[in-house]
Each structure stands twice: as structure tokens, then as C-alpha cells.
């Protein structure tokens, strides 16, 4: 199984699209659609969508287990383009109940160090 990262540095938008996905020999996969935002004091990666084709097959877990390495690779590209490194990952916990329950998704994020507030905002400092 491979993890593929695509960063559209040349996009003309408020943020820079960053997509992370698993690639394997089967149709099962997971993907995380994010947007990189640079602020004066910090920069962040905002998770817009994180899902797997099938739950509990380990594909989403594979991304979360390797998240620090993934961010290291993303930061390398950002630095090469004179952009600030990602220091925080943020998002909103939204479960697709057809694939994973909110409780299971909450537990998955917590297992890998994310903080979840009472409005389902998620974050992890790097």
C-alpha cells in the first residue's frame, strides 16, 4: 500500500489544495481532502473530507498512523515554495453513517492524538 500526496501550489484560490490518499491493489482506499492556509502567525492544514470506501479495513488508519511523516513531506514542498510549515491540522468531525459511525470516527481521531471539542471541531498541534 502506498500513500500519495498531491499539492496544487499553483492554484489561484484562498488556500492550496492538498490531497492525501492510499493506493493499493484493491478498490478499497481512503482519502483526505485538505486545504493549506497560511496566516501571519501560523499555517494550518484544514481537513475538508476524510473517508474510506469501506470502514474498518485499515486504510484511514494508515493515513493517520503516517500523518507526521506525511506532514513532513508536505512541509518540504511548502518550504521549497517559500511558504510556512504546517503547525496544526484542523477540521470538523463529520461521519458518513453509511461507512462509519460518529462514535467510531471520534474514537479513531482521538486514538491518533486529535482533540475534539463539543462542536465536533478537531485539531492536532504538530
Question: Where in the sequence is the domain holding 92, given as residue range(s)?
Answer: 2-125
Give pLDDT, residue 90: 97
The H or E element containing residue 40 is: none
* Each residue's pLDDT tens digit, 8-60: 888 777 899 999 998 766 666 788 999 999 988 889 999 999 988 777 777 78
pLDDT tier for residue 113 given thresholds of 50, 70 and 90:
very high
Kindly state the cell numbers that stand for 105.
470516527
CA distance 79 to 56: 35
The domain spanning residue 77 has which CATH number?
Answer: 3.40.630.30
Residue 105 has pLDDT above 80, yes or no: yes
Give pLDDT, residue 23: 77
Q: What is the mean pLDDT of the chain?
A: 89
The tally of domains found in the chain comes to: 1
Amino acid at each position: 500500500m502506498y500513500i500519495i500526496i498531491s499539492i496544487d501550489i499553483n492554484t489561484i484560490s484562498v488556500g492550496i489544495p492538498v490531497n492525501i490518499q492510499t493506493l493499493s491493489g484493491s478498490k478499497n482506499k481512503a482519502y483526505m481532502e485538505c486545504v493549506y492556509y497560511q496566516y501571519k502567525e501560523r499555517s494550518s492544514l484544514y481537513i475538508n473530507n476524510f473517508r474510506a470506501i469501506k470502514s474498518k479495513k485499515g486504510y484511514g488508519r494508515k493515513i493517520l498512523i503516517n500523518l507526521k511523516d506525511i506532514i513532513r513531506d508536505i512541509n518540504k514542498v511548502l518550504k521549497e515554495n517559500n511558504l510556512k510549515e504546517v503547525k496544526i491540522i484542523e477540521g470538523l468531525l463529520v461521519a458518513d453513517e453509511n461507512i462509519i459511525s460518529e462514535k467510531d470516527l471520534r474514537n479513531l481521531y482521538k486514538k491518533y492524538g486529535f482533540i475534539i471539542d463539543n462542536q465536533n471541531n478537531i485539531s492536532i498541534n504538530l
